[in-house]
């Protein structure tokens, strides 16, 4: 469904993404992890076509992703949830969801809004301005926006940031639920959350893919331990 080849992104002299290959199959649930500065956020923005790559290609359903206008990326079926919730503060919860639902559902947007409201359990606060919501609820609003748009590929950048442990657990359930309908890529710091998702994990390091596999395989990978966990348990004693 999505294929990146030889992806490079440079900021001045800094190579944030340095020759990355990445393949995603339809229906997959994939977690991206890596230490700070590994290039997760940059890679994420390249997938979302917010940034254009310095070199390399990204193809989504055969489309040349970096050449698309931002609105065409959404219309191609990619939905994005940002690390810091990017929601319309001055608009109501329902209006935020309606904006997300409208372009796909048109006149049926109202029904999609109701479904999303139920899923994020904010039905009672539908008319509240988003500016008046807690940080955790804003995360839910943005997840609701992604749900209402019903994209084929969903990109989630640290969806549990600012959530309580219980909320993070609920998010993991929801992400697995969403995965039945759509392909999902999650960038995440919280290892408990990643474990709950039981997804294929891709470890990034210095702008390239270091390892790929299940959480158990990754945990047993010595190189990953060295670099990602920053300690050498096997070298002790």
Partner 1 sequence: MRAEPAVWTTGAVVLGGLPFLLSLFQVVQLTVFMAFCLLALSLDLIWGVAGILSFGQAAFFGVGGYAYGVVGINSGSTTLGLAGAVASAAVLAALLGYFTFYGRVGAMYFAVITLTVTLILHQVMGSTAGPRYAIGAARLGGYNGMTNIPSLALELPGRTPSVLEPVPLFYVVGGLLLVVLGLGRALVRSSFGRVLRAIREDEGRTELLGYDVRWRKLLTFVISGGIAGLAGGLFAGWGNFINPQVFSLSQSALVVIWVMVGGRGTLYGAIAGALVVQWLTNYLGAASVTYTSVLLGVALVVIVLIFPGGLVPAVGRGLGWLVERPRRALAVLP
Site membership for partner 1, residue 153 (CB under 8 A): no
Nearer to partner 1, 22 or 82 (CB): 82
Nearer to partner 1, 50 or 118 (CB): 50
* Closest approach of partner 1 to the CB of residue 201, in Å: 26
CB nearer partner 1, residue 145 or residue 210: 145
Write out the binding residues for partner 1, residues 84-113 only, by CB under 8 A.
86-91, 95, 98-100, 102-104
* Minimum CB–partner distance for residue 50 and partner 1 (Å): 8
How many residues line the site for partner 1 (CB under 8 A)? 24
Query: What is 108-156 written as a DSSP string?
Result: GHHHHHHHHHHHHT-GGGTTSBGGGS-HHHHHHHHHHHHHHH--SEEEE
- Closer to partner 1 by Cβ: residue 73 or 182: 73
Q: From residue 127 to residue 146, what is the string marking binding to partner 1 with x (rule CB under 8 A)?
A: ------------------x-
Q: Which is nearer to partner 1, 102 or 200 (CB)?
A: 102
Residues 28-87 within binding reach of partner 1 (CB under 8 A) = 48, 50, 69-71, 73-75, 80, 86-87
Residues that bind partner 1 (CB under 8 A): 48, 50, 69-71, 73-75, 80, 86-91, 95, 98-100, 102-104, 145, 149
């Amino acid at each position: 469904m999505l294929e990146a080849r030889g992806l490079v992104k440079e900021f001045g002299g800094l190579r944030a993404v340095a020759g990355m290959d990445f393949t995603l199959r339809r229906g997959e649930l994939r977690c991206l992890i890596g230490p700070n500065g590994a290039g997760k956020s940059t890679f994420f923005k390249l997938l979302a076509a917010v940034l254009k790559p310095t070199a390399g290609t990204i193809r989504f359903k055969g489309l040349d992703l970096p050449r698309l206008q931002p609105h065409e990326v959404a219309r191609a079926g990619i939905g994005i949830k940002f690390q810091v919730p990017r929601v319309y503060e001055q608009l109501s919860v329902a209006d935020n969801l309606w904006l997300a639902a409208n372009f796909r559902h048109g006149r049926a947007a109202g029904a999609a809004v109701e479904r999303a409201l139920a899923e994020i359990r904010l039905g009672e606060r539908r008319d509240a301005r988003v500016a008046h919501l807690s940080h955790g609820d804003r995360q839910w609003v943005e997840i609701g926006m992604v749900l209402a748009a019903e994209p084929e590929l969903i990109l989630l950048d640290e969806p549990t940031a600012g959530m309580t442990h219980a909320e993070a657990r609920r998010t993991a359930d929801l992400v697995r639920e969403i995965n039945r309908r759509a392909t999902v890529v999650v960038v995440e710091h919280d290892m408990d959350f990643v474990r709950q998702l039981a997804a294929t994990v891709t470890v990034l390091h210095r702008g390239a893919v270091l390892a790929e596999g299940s959480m158990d395989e990754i945990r047993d990978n010595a190189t990953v331990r060295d670099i990602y966990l920053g300690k050498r348990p096997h070298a002790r004693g």
